[in-house]
Amino acid sequence: MFSLLAPPALVSVVNVWQVFLTTDRVGQSVILLLAVFSIIAWAVMLGKRSELQKLRELNLRFERLLAQEKHVLSLPENMRNRRDIPYADLLADALEAYWRAAAIGKEKGEDTLRGRLEHAENAIQRALARQSLRYEASMIFLASVVSGAPFMGLFGTVWGVMEAFVAVSVMQTASIQTLAPGVSAALLTTIAGLVVAIPSVFGYNYLLGNVKTMITELENYASSLADRIELEAKLD
């Protein structure tokens, strides 16, 4: 009577919970571990999406401000020391290396424009690599969840099926009624693995596309910044 009156979704949830309770400790441990990974993966995906959006907005805003400046080499400190902005970080490292090379060159009497520009370009490349790693942070964890969750679910399924057949082997007679509960409990771990992996793979691919786009934008900005520093240095 209850199954006729209760909503299908509620019956489904109750059945899944009952199947979970019939799963052995290994299967329950796998399912609980996958649940933890799912929560962490969702937190990482949402946090990474918010972080990338914020960094892109800061980069675009800084690029607009920089375009209004006539001389990059003589920027005020409040624009040169914004390390929280990737574009500003590249600029700060480039200017710091440029003027440090100039100061050391003057002390030794070997100050050359080529030396300044080489130091500035090297600093830009180091900052570019550092910010690229910043963009890619947490992506390895998501990739591990995407590839590892199905295998964890498969492990739980194989273990559960093995336990079900072992339990049937000690009985006098075996039937589908005796085998079905163990097999259904084993398959629950596969479902849990897919529930974790499927949203994670879509989220990973979406974030990976954004990361690649932003790294390309960062590389273009780095090239443009190096050209601008070189042009201004030659004009001074």
Distance CA 192, CA 197 (A): 9
CA 97 to chain centre: 31
User: Shortest CA distance to 184 belongs to which of 21, 10, 26?
Assistant: 21
The percent of residues in the chain predicted with pLDDT above 70, rounded, is 86
pLDDT value of position 176: 63
- Are the C-beta atoms of 24 and 163 separated by less than 8 Å? yes
Least-confidence region, from 114-118, 135-139, 148-152, 165-169: 165-169
In this prediction the pTM is: 0.82
Domain ranges of the chain: 25-56+71-235
* Residues 24-58 pLDDT 10s: 788 888 889 999 999 999 999 999 999 999 999 99
Give the up-direction half-sphere exposure of residue 230: CA atoms within 13 A in the CB hemisphere. Answer: 13
Cβ contacts of residue 37 below 8 Å, gap of 6+? 145, 149, 196
Q: Which residue has the higher pLDDT, 91 or 19?
A: 91
